[in-house]
Structure 1
C-alpha cells in the first residue's frame, strides 16, 4: 500500500505557535505519585523529571507528533506517540517491573519504534553493557549473538555480522554513514565507543534504509541526547574515567563535561589510551603497542520550531602489527555534521549534512619510515527526510516517510605506490517507507512495513591514477532494493516477525583495481575489472518475548547471494608473496540465533545465547571465507541494589564456548583451521554516592578476562598462524560522575 504525497501539502507547511505538555506519573496499583521518573521527547531532544508529587511539564514545544519515553526505577518503561497540544493533562500509569527496561530503536525504521514491533532482528547495547575494556567497535560488540570480530591486536576490531564484514556492513554515527576505507578485513571502523550512549545493530540486509553498504547489517553508534534546561535552572555535569589493564600495561583516561542554558546544550569529551605489546599465555607479541587520542564536541538548540544539532569528532590511532614484522599504521579520522528537525503542522522535516576526512598511512619496515600506502578519503553526505502525518481510521494507522540522500567520495593517494588508485564516486538515492498497523490494543495487533529504494552510483578513475588503465574509467550502477515485513503482536509480551529484504552493492574500487603488494596482509592483491554488482535476498523468521522475569528470542534466517565477491588464493607467487585475486560466484548463508535472560530470583540473572552459521559457495561447494565458528555463552550475575555503603552492586561470571572451524580450501586466504575453546570471564562492581547531597557518584568495576589464562586461537584472528590470542587480563575502571 502506497502513501501518496499530495502536491498541496507542500504549501500547508507553516510554522505554528509553541505549546505545552503537562501531566502526572502514578503507580498503577496504588495510585501514588512516582517521583524522579525520566520523561523524554525523542524527536526534539527534551528530557525532564517528575517532582515529589509525580508531576512534570514541558514548555515551548512544537506542535505535532512526539515519541514520549518514560523510565523509572522498578517500573516498566513506557513508549507512546502523542499529539501536542493535548486537550487535557496526561496521566501515565506505571506497572511494577523489576528487571527489563525495553528501549526503542531509531535505526530499524525511519521513526522511533519498539524492538518487538520491528520485522528485522535488532540488538541494542547500552553504554553499561559495552565491555569495560573495549578499545574498538568490533571488540565491544563481539558478545552479541550473530556478531563476531576480526581483531588485529587490541586497538583494531572489524565487526562481522552473520558472516560478512567490510563493505557489506554499514557503520553509522548518529545515523550518518561512516567510510573508513573498509575494503580489507583489517580496516576496522574509526569511531570511539566510549562516547556512545548506546549502539544499535540491525542484522541482515537493510539497504532499503541505509544504502549499498548495508546488505549484511547496520551498526549505529548513538550519542546521548543533548541536555536542555527549559524546565530547570542551568545545568553543569561531567565525569572522569580512569582505567588500567595488566595485559599490555594499558592505561585509559577519559573526561567529559556537559551543560545547558534553556534550549541550548553542549557536550565535550576527550579520551587517551596508551598500550604496550599484547601478551599471550606464552609470549609477548612485539610491535602491537598503540596510542589512541579521541575528542568530541556537540552543540544543540531546541525551540518551539524543532531542534538543531552540530557535531565535531577526531579519532586517531598509531599502532603496529605483529605480522608483518615491524609494520606500523597511522589512522586519522575527522567527522563533522549538522542536522535539524522541524515540526510543521503534522509534518516532520529533518535534514543532515556531514563531512568525513579519513587518512590511512602504512609504514612497512623496509621503507625506513616512509609510507608505502597513504590514502586520503573525503566523504560528503546530505540527507532530507520528510515524515508525513499519520492517517488514522477505525482501528488502523498508516505512517509514511520519504528520504532523499546524496553521498560524494573522493580518494587521493599520497604515496608513490598505487595499490589503490585515485577515484571519485557519488551516490544518489530515494527511499519510500510505509507502515500499516491494525487491530485493537496490543493483543492481536498486526504491523506490515514496506520499503522501496532506488540507488544510482557513478565511479570515475583517471588513467593516470592507475598503472593498469590505458584510458579513463567511468561506470554507472543502479538498482532497486526493498523490504517487506510483517509483525504479529501475539500479546503484550510476545511477537512473531517475518521479514523479506533485498540488499545490493556495486564492486568497490579496490575489488576492481587493486594491483600490488598490500603490506598489511603480506600479500599481492589483484582486482578484477569484470566484476558485476552483488545482491542478496534474505528470509527471516523471529519469535520474541519479554515478561517480568524472562526475555528471549529465536531467529532463523536464510540469505541467497548473487555474484558474491571474495578473494581467493590463486596459487601464484610474486616477490615471495602469495597472490590473491577477486572473483565472484553465487552463495548462500543460513543460521540460527538464540538469546535469553532469566531472573529466577530477584538478585540473580541467568543469561545465555547461541549462534550457528553455515555458508556455501555454490560453485566450489566450499564454505565462504572467514565464516565464523559457532559459539555460545552462559552468564550468571548477582545484583544487589545496596550492600553496605555501595549501591548497584554486581558480581558475575561468563563462560564462552566457541566451536572449531575449518578453512574453505583455496577460498580462505591465510587459511589456518582452529580448534574449539572455552573461556571464563569474571566481573564485580558497584557505586558509591559522595558529596553533601549525595549528588556525586564513584563507580568501580573490576574484571578478569580469560581468567584461566587459556591458550586458544579464534578462527577470525589474523595472527592465528603465528601466535595465540591474548592471555589473562586484569582490568580496573573508575568512573567519577559529578
Structure 2
C-alpha cells in the first residue's frame, strides 16, 4: 500500500472509531452502572460482518475465561482476551475455526474456500499461534498455509482468544497468541438438552446437518455432538479470463479461473462424545473422544498438475483423519484447585500428487502420521504470602511422527518438551499486577528410520535442543468504574519444527519446492501491548496498540532457482518487528438499535532489509448496525444486521506463499482495496412449544469481484461471490 493510501486508511479508521466513541458516550446513561462482578463482563464488541448474539448489547453475558492463568472476566486480564461463543458462530453459518474468529478486531483468517480457515492473531499464524483443547495444545500439521485446525466450531461451547505472546502458559508456538477451545459442557441436571442444526450455503451448495445433546442424573453425565458437512465447488463472480491465450500477457492481473471453481469441494464427518462425573469429594472428571474426518480437493494453479494449462483446471485430493482422547479433572485439595489434564492425539494427513483429485483415490504421495501425548497439571490457589492468587504447573509433551509416502516433505522424527511455570496476581487498590515465569526444555530429532524416503539431511540429522526461559509482566488500573488501562510485556518463543528443519520436496499447497535448514535457531520475541477499555451498560469499547519484536524469525526465501518448473524456497532467519493498533466499539443508541465499528492497522517487516513479513493482513475498517425491533407486530426474536467493511490494498512479501503469481501471466499475489456489504436477519418463532431459531446471512451482497489478501486462491482466482446462508436450529429439552 502506498503512503497516501495508508494515510487514508488510518484517518478513516480513527475517524470512525473516535466519532462512534463520542456518540456512544454521549448517549450513555447519566448514572454509571456498577461494574460487572468477577467472572462477568458485557458481551465484547464484534467485527462488522458478524454478531455476538441477536440480543441487545445492554444485556450482560456471564463470561469467565479459563485460557488464562487466573480464570475470570476478560476485562480483568493484562493481556487482551476475547470470547466468541458457539451461538454466534452458528448464527453466522461458519464452517471452520478461522472464519468463526475473524469477527474480532486484530484477528483474521487465512481461508481456502469453506473448507479451511486458520486464525491470524496480530499478523502471526500457523505455528506461531497455539491452538488448545481445554488448556492442552493440539497439533494439525500446520506447516502448510492451508492446513487448518482439526476442530469443528459446532462441537464447541466457546473459543477464547488471547492476543500476544502466551508462552509463559503454553510454551512453544504461543509466540503470537493462543486460542483455547472449550468443548461442550455437560449439563448434569438435565435428562437431555441440545439442538438439531440444518444449514444451506448457496455459494458452494453446502449442506450441514448436526445434532448435539447433553444430560445426566446429577452425578454422572454425558455430552455428544455430530455434524456432517458436504460442500461443493465455490463460485466466484464471472469475470473475463485470458490464460492461456495470446492476450494473457496484456491482461496478467486477470484470474486464470473464474465462475464456478472446480476441485474446491469437501466432505466432513466430525463428532465428539464425553462422559463425566461430578462428586463433592472426588471432584469433576471428564473423558472425551473427538473425531475429525475430512476429505477435500484443492484447485491447483497452472501448471502444477500433470496436464498442460490449455487442458483445463486440475486439483489435488487430500485426506485428514484426527482422533483425540482427553481426560480432564477439577479437584480441590489442600486449599488448591488442581486440574490434571491428559491428551492423546493421533493425526494422519495424506495428499496426492498434483493432478490427482479425490476421485482418483489415494496415490501414496504424502502420508504423514503422528501420535502426540501431553500431560499437564496446574494448581490454582487463593491469597497466600501477600499475593492475591495464582496458578502454577508442569507440562510434558512427546510427539512421534512417521513419513510413509513416496515423497518425504516433512520427515519422521520425535519432539519432546518439558516445562514448569508459575503465574501470580497482586491487587493493590485500583491496580492489579500480574506476572509469570516459565522454563522449557525442547528437543527435536529427525529419524531416517521413520521416513520412507529420507533426504540426506534427515539421514545425517542430530538432535536439536533448546532451553528457554519466558515470562510476562502486566497490570490493569481502574481509572473509573467503567474505564481501565492495561499494559503487558511478554517474552515468547517457538522452536523450529521438523518441517522447517528438514523439509525436502514439492509442496503442492504453495506450488513450490521447499528445502529445510538444519541450522535454524529458536524464535524469541518481546511483545509489548497497551490498551484502554470502556465497559458500561450501553457502550463497550477497546483500543489497543502493540509491538512484537521477534529475534530469528523463520521465513521462506525464494532462491531464484526452479525445479520441475516450480520455484525453490529455502528456510532462513532474520530479526523482525510487528507494529499495530486495533479498536472496536459497540454502542446502544435506542432499545431497538445498536451500532458497532472496528478497525485494524498493522505493519510487519524484517528489520535489516525492511522487507514485509508474509501473510500480514491488510489494514481494515468497518461499521455496522443491528436492529432488534420489539412489539406484537414483529415476529418473535426478530433482528436485522447490516455491515460494511473496507480492506486496503496489500503487497505480497518476498518469498511469501504464492508471491510468485505477481510475476505470472495470470492472477496476482498482491491485492487491491475493496469494500463489501453483508446483511443478516433472524427470527425465533415457537413451534410445538420449542423456540426455533432461524438465521439468514448474505455475504458479499452485491457479488463484488475482489481478492482477499489472506485468500489462498488469490494467485489464480477471485474470492467467493455472493453467499446466502440459511441456518435452522431446533432446541430440545427432556
The SS at the match of 1:235 is: coil
Q: Whole-Å Cα distance in 2 between the matches of residues 400 and 138 of structure 1?
A: 31
Find the partner of 1:323 among 280, 287, 300.
Answer: 300
What is the CA distance between 1:224 and its match in structure 2? 3.5
Q: Once the two structures are superposed, what CA deviation does each residue of 1:386-423 show, in whole Å capped at 9, x if it has no partner? A: 22342387xxx521221100111111112121111110
Find the partner of 2:538 among 544, 549, 558.
Answer: 549
Asked whether the equivalents of residues 193 and 221 of structure 1 are also in contact (C-alpha less than 8 Å), the reply is no
- What's the counterpart of residue 215 of structure 1? 175
What is the CA distance between 1:102 and its match in structure 2? 4.8
Asked whether the equivalents of residues 430 and 455 of structure 1 are also in contact (C-alpha less than 8 Å), the reply is yes
What is the CA distance between 1:107 and its match in structure 2? 4.2
The SS at the match of 1:331 is: strand
The SS at the match of 2:169 is: helix
- What's the counterpart of residue 210 of structure 2? 254
- What's the counterpart of residue 117 of structure 1? 76
- What's the counterpart of residue 384 of structure 2? 391
Q: Whole-Å Cα distance in 2 between the matches of residues 315 and 667 of structure 1?
A: 29
- What's the counterpart of residue 179 of structure 1? 139
Q: Whole-Å Cα distance in 2 between the matches of residues 643 and 275 of structure 1?
A: 39
What is the CA distance between 1:656 and its match in structure 2? 1.3
What is the CA distance between 1:670 and its match in structure 2? 2.4
Find the partner of 2:724 among 709, 730, 736.
Answer: 730
Asked whether the equivalents of residues 560 and 589 of structure 1 are also in contact (C-alpha less than 8 Å), the reply is yes
The SS at the match of 2:636 is: strand
Q: Structure 1 residue 409 and structure 2 residue 402: aligned?
A: no
After superposition, the Cα gap between the structure-2 partners of 1:241 and 1:642, relative to the gap in structure 1 and judged at 3 Å, is farther
- What's the counterpart of residue 648 of structure 1? 637
- What's the counterpart of residue 675 of structure 1? 672
Asked whether the equivalents of residues 39 and 63 of structure 2 are also in contact (C-alpha less than 8 Å), the reply is no
- What's the counterpart of residue 390 of structure 2? 400
Q: Structure 1 residue 538 and structure 2 residue 530: aligned?
A: no
- What's the counterpart of residue 446 of structure 2? 461
After superposition, the Cα gap between the structure-2 partners of 1:222 and 1:108, relative to the gap in structure 1 and judged at 3 Å, is closer
The SS at the match of 2:501 is: helix
What is the CA distance between 1:538 and its match in structure 2? 0.8
What is the CA distance between 1:541 and its match in structure 2? 0.5
Find the partner of 1:314 among 291, 306, 315.
Answer: 291
- What's the counterpart of residue 410 of structure 2? 420
After superposition, the Cα gap between the structure-2 partners of 1:111 and 1:455, relative to the gap in structure 1 and judged at 3 Å, is same
Q: Whole-Å Cα distance in 2 between the matches of residues 492 and 602 of structure 1?
A: 23
Q: Whole-Å Cα distance in 2 between the matches of residues 434 and 256 of structure 1?
A: 38
Q: Whole-Å Cα distance in 1 between the matches of residues 555 and 704 of structure 2?
A: 33
What is the CA distance between 1:642 and its match in structure 2? 5.3
Q: Whole-Å Cα distance in 2 between the matches of residues 516 and 108 of structure 1?
A: 37
Q: Structure 1 residue 292 and structure 2 residue 268: aligned?
A: yes
Q: Whole-Å Cα distance in 2 between the matches of residues 485 and 240 of structure 1?
A: 43
- What's the counterpart of residue 128 of structure 1? 87
Q: Whole-Å Cα distance in 1 between the matches of residues 113 and 364 of structure 2?
A: 21
Find the partner of 1:190 among 143, 150, 164.
Answer: 150
What is the CA distance between 1:520 and its match in structure 2? 2.1
After superposition, the Cα gap between the structure-2 partners of 1:681 and 1:462, relative to the gap in structure 1 and judged at 3 Å, is same
The SS at the match of 2:581 is: strand
TM-score (normalised: structure 2): 0.84
- What's the counterpart of residue 435 of structure 2? 450
- What's the counterpart of residue 6 of structure 2? none
Asked whether the equivalents of residues 354 and 508 of structure 2 are also in contact (C-alpha less than 8 Å), the reply is no
Q: Whole-Å Cα distance in 2 between the matches of residues 111 and 307 of structure 1?
A: 19
Q: Structure 1 residue 664 and structure 2 residue 640: aligned?
A: no
Asked whether the equivalents of residues 554 and 592 of structure 1 are also in contact (C-alpha less than 8 Å), the reply is yes
After superposition, the Cα gap between the structure-2 partners of 1:78 and 1:686, relative to the gap in structure 1 and judged at 3 Å, is farther
After superposition, the Cα gap between the structure-2 partners of 1:522 and 1:210, relative to the gap in structure 1 and judged at 3 Å, is same
- What's the counterpart of residue 628 of structure 2? 639
Higher strand content, 1 or 2: 1
Q: Once the two structures are superposed, what CA deviation does each residue of 1:127-186 show, in whole Å capped at 9, x if it has no partner? A: 232262211111111221111111112111111111111110001122221100111211
After superposition, the Cα gap between the structure-2 partners of 1:389 and 1:689, relative to the gap in structure 1 and judged at 3 Å, is same
Asked whether the equivalents of residues 511 and 658 of structure 2 are also in contact (C-alpha less than 8 Å), the reply is no
After superposition, the Cα gap between the structure-2 partners of 1:730 and 1:196, relative to the gap in structure 1 and judged at 3 Å, is same
Asked whether the equivalents of residues 396 and 418 of structure 2 are also in contact (C-alpha less than 8 Å), the reply is yes
Q: Structure 1 residue 710 and structure 2 residue 707: aligned?
A: no
- What's the counterpart of residue 169 of structure 1? 129
TM-score (normalised: structure 1): 0.83
What is the CA distance between 1:647 and its match in structure 2? 2.6
- What's the counterpart of residue 487 of structure 2? 498
Asked whether the equivalents of residues 206 and 218 of structure 1 are also in contact (C-alpha less than 8 Å), the reply is yes
The SS at the match of 1:364 is: coil
What is the CA distance between 1:235 and its match in structure 2? 2.4
Q: Once the two structures are superposed, what CA deviation does each residue of 1:589-627 show, in whole Å capped at 9, x if it has no partner? A: 000001000001111010010001011111221111111
The SS at the match of 2:124 is: coil
Q: Whole-Å Cα distance in 2 between the matches of residues 317 and 642 of structure 1?
A: 45
Higher relative contact order, chain-length normalized (CA < 8 Å, sep 6+):
2
Q: Structure 1 residue 513 and structure 2 residue 502: aligned?
A: yes
Count of residue pairs the alignment pairs up: 635
Asked whether the equivalents of residues 373 and 413 of structure 1 are also in contact (C-alpha less than 8 Å), the reply is yes
Q: Whole-Å Cα distance in 2 between the matches of residues 448 and 75 of structure 1?
A: 22
What is the CA distance between 1:552 and its match in structure 2? 0.1
What is the CA distance between 1:104 and its match in structure 2? 3.5
What is the CA distance between 1:641 and its match in structure 2? 5.1
- What's the counterpart of residue 373 of structure 2? 380
Q: Structure 1 residue 488 and structure 2 residue 488: aligned?
A: no
After superposition, the Cα gap between the structure-2 partners of 1:196 and 1:642, relative to the gap in structure 1 and judged at 3 Å, is farther
Q: Whole-Å Cα distance in 2 between the matches of residues 98 and 728 of structure 1?
A: 28
Give the superposed CA RMSD. 1.9
Q: Once the two structures are superposed, what CA deviation does each residue of 1:221-253 show, in whole Å capped at 9, x if it has no partner? A: 212431122xxxx52222111111111111110
What is the CA distance between 1:667 and its match in structure 2? 5.3
Asked whether the equivalents of residues 281 and 726 of structure 1 are also in contact (C-alpha less than 8 Å), the reply is yes
Asked whether the equivalents of residues 462 and 473 of structure 1 are also in contact (C-alpha less than 8 Å), the reply is no
Asked whether the equivalents of residues 153 and 321 of structure 1 are also in contact (C-alpha less than 8 Å), the reply is no
Higher helix content, 1 or 2: 2
Q: Whole-Å Cα distance in 1 between the matches of residues 632 and 297 of structure 2?
A: 44
Q: Structure 1 residue 348 and structure 2 residue 337: aligned?
A: yes
Q: Whole-Å Cα distance in 2 between the matches of residues 645 and 275 of structure 1?
A: 34
Asked whether the equivalents of residues 103 and 115 of structure 1 are also in contact (C-alpha less than 8 Å), the reply is no
Q: Structure 1 residue 239 and structure 2 residue 199: aligned?
A: no
